[in-house]
Amino acid sequence: METLKFSADAQLASRLDAVIDDALARAQIVGTVMLVARCGTVVYQRAAGAADREAQRPMAVDTVFRYASLTKPIVSATALTLIENGQLGLEDPVTKWMPEFRPRLANGREPVITIRQLLTHTAGLSYGFSEPEDGPYHRTNVSDGMDQPGLGFDENLRRLASVPLVFAPGTAWNYSLATDVLGKVIERASGMALPEKVARTVTEPLKMRDTAFIARDPARLAVPYASGTPQPVRMSDPHPAPFPPSAIVYSPSRILDARSYPSGGTGMAGTASDFLTFLEALRRGGEGLLRPTTVRMMTSNAIGDMPMLMGPGWGFGLGVAVLKDPVAANVPQGVGTWRWGGVYGHHWFVDPKHELSVVVLTNTALVGMIGEFPDALGRALYAGVGTL
């Protein structure tokens, strides 16, 4: 893929800088890297605040972040290459590749789960942070992919399969460990370990040199923080962050522990520029990674009118949320925008209508992902989108 060009936009920079400066001054966030590309040209780039507040290490454009759910579209794209090559089928039952993975409904019935349902989060699975503290995922000690350093892949999937499904596959949408299951399917279908397959398929061809399931340069890794008063608190290990109805449990050391299973949903680390490279490759039709028809399928709504996490106006494709109705969603992006975030404090989106790709990585959970800060950045960006 060609290197992204850079052409600064002074008016855009002024608006976005004001939002970032305000968030830093009010101690909403500790540090951030933001990149905006328009028509394949980077029109805004900034690293601000601290990568390590206590050591007074400033944020840099090449700071490495724990990606959390930025991992999902990368792993989903890897699965889609196997589908293009005929090594995997969208309608394949998961048991074709994982005969041992047979979760049941509460009534004891064992339904079929397909690869499509894993990609669309309609498989009937869930996350521990989505249930009360005494829920079955907690009782069985299922990892959400960001905690329990050293936990093995097969053991976590065994625990997951022992918990009843929350609904019959294909009947509803629920954010879940489905992409972790997909990661094991990729291993079985390709005959490679997930980190190796992702590297050969996505990160190496796109020259995403800092993106992997283990942080390659720990010295450049951002220290993670969680919301606190009067300022964000440095994460402990483990660190439970309240997230009703329970909590998200972070183990920052996991990204340095090679024994930890490669979580297809949350397990990678990388830079903002690496992730922008990935988004731009998809926005421009796949660029050798995927066929244009596959990219369109990935970034088109595949769940009909099923309610999903982001509320009215949003659907979900094969690994990304898809904007159906900007008015209902109350967002400035164009119809067909696709996006997601990461619970370590990130958000990103691609707006094909305006040929925009935006990556905002912070080291502050969860304010970098949802709420006032990302909303303010969106307003500042689209205040002049017609002149970008």
What does the alpha-carbon distance between residue 13 and residue 57 come to, in Å, rounded to a whole number?
23
Read off the pLDDT of each residue in 288-313 and give the average, rounded to a whole number.
Answer: 97
From the candidates 69, 76, 251, 357, which is the catalytic residue? 69
Share of the chain above pLDDT 90, in %: 96
What does the alpha-carbon distance between residue 107 and residue 65 come to, in Å, rounded to a whole number?
42
Read off the pLDDT of each residue in 33-45 and give the average, rounded to a whole number.
Answer: 97
- The pLDDT tens digits of the residues spanning 144-199 come to 999 999 999 999 999 999 999 999 999 999 999 999 999 999 999 999 999 999 99
> Among candidates 184, 165, 155, which has minimal Cα distance to 125?
165
Read off the pLDDT of each residue in 305-319 and give the average, rounded to a whole number.
Answer: 97
Read off the pLDDT of each residue in 7-18 and give the average, rounded to a whole number.
Answer: 90
Q: Is 38 helix (H, G, I), strand (E, B) or coil?
A: strand
- The pLDDT tens digits of the residues spanning 328-370 come to 999 999 999 999 999 999 999 999 999 999 999 999 999 999 9
| pLDDT reported for residue 9 | 84
- Which residues face 182 on adjacent strands? none
- Clarify whether 7 is annotated catalytic: no
Q: Please tell me whether the overall predicted TM-score, pTM, comes out greater than 0.95 for this model.
A: yes
Read off the pLDDT of each residue in 292-296 and give the average, rounded to a whole number.
Answer: 98
- The pLDDT tens digits of the residues spanning 181-196 come to 999 999 999 999 999 9
- Under a CB-based contact definition with an 8 Å cutoff, are residues 286 and 294 in contact? yes
| pLDDT reported for residue 386 | 59
Read off the pLDDT of each residue in 227-231 and give the average, rounded to a whole number.
Answer: 94
> Among candidates 127, 199, 203, 122, which has minimal Cα distance to 160?
127
| pLDDT reported for residue 384 | 77
| pLDDT reported for residue 1 | 42
Which stretches of the chain are DSSP H helices? 10-25, 71-84, 94-97, 115-120, 136-139, 153-161, 178-190, 194-198, 272-283, 292-298, 326-329, 372-382
